[in-house]
Amino acid sequence: MKIKAIILAISAYFMIACAAPPATSNNSQNPAKKSADPNRKLKIGFAMDTVKEERWQRDHDAFEAHCKEINVECVITVADNQADKQANQVDNLLTQGIDALVIAPHDATQAATMVDKAKAQGIPVISYDRLIDSPKIDLYISHQVPIIGKKIAEYALEHKPEGNYVMVYGASTDNNALIMKNAQLEVLKPAVDSGKIKIVAEQFINDWRPDLALNFAENALTQNNDNIQAFVVSNDGMAGGVVSALAKRGLTGKVLVTGQDAGLEALQNIAEGKQTMTVYKPIIPLATQAVDSAVKLARGEALTTTPFHNDKLKVDVPAILLEVTVVDKSNLMDTVIKDGYAKYEDVYKNVPESDRPKKP
Ligand code: BGC
Task: Express each pLDDT in 98-109 by its tens digit.
Answer: 999 999 999 999
Structure confidence by residue, pLDDT tens digits, 31-90: 444 545 777 899 999 999 999 999 999 999 999 999 999 999 999 999 999 999 999 999
Separation CA 281–CA 260 (nearest Å) = 8
Residue 314 pLDDT greater than 70, yes or no: yes
* CB of 261 closer than 6 angstroms to any ligand 1 atom: yes
d(CA 209, CA 231): 16
Return the pLDDT at 308: 98
Q: Contact 168/238 with Cβ under 8 angstroms?
A: yes
For strands 73-78 and 43-48, give the pairing.
Answer: parallel
Q: Which of 127, 260, 279, 341 best tests ligand 1's pocket when mutated (most atoms within 8 Å of CB)?
A: 260
Instruction: Of 76-80, 306-310, 354-358, give the lowest mean pLDDT range.
Output: 354-358
SS3 165: strand
pLDDT score recorded for residue 36 = 56
Alpha carbon nearest to ligand 1 atom 12, residue: 53
Residues comprising the chain, all counted: 360
Distance 275 CA to ligand 1 centre (A): 18
Tell me the residue type at 192: V
Any bridge partners for residue 277, and if so which?
328
Closest CA to 176 of 237, 92, 243: 237
User: For residue range 181-222, what is the model confidence (pLDDT) as tens digits?
Assistant: 999 999 999 999 999 999 999 999 999 999 999 999 999 999
Longest dimension (CA), the chain: 112
- How many contiguous H segments (helices) and E segments (strands) does the chain have? 12, 13
Contact 242, 214 (CB under 8 A): yes
Average pLDDT (233-245) is 98
pLDDT of 25 over the 60 cut: no
Give the ligand 1 atom nearest the CA of 263: 10
Contact (CB, 8 A) for 316 and 306: no
Q: Is the pLDDT reported for residue 261 higher than 90? A: yes
Name the pLDDT band for 249 (thresholds 50, 70, 90): very high
For the entire predicted model, the pTM comes to 0.90
Strands 163-169 and 230-233 turn out to be parallel
**How many Å apart are CA 56 and CA 31, to the nearest integer?**
28
Is the minimum distance from the CB of 278 to ligand 1 under 6 angstroms?
A: no
Q: How far is the CA of 316 from the centre of ligand 1 (A)?
A: 22
Give the confidence band of 289 by pLDDT, cuts at 50, 70, 90.
very high
**Beta carbons of 201 and 220 less than 8 angstroms apart:** yes
* b/e sequence 161-170, b meaning 16+ C-beta within 10 Å: eebbbbbbbb
What is the residue with the minimal CA distance to atom 6 of ligand 1? 176
**Cα 126 from Cα 140, distance rounded (Å):** 6
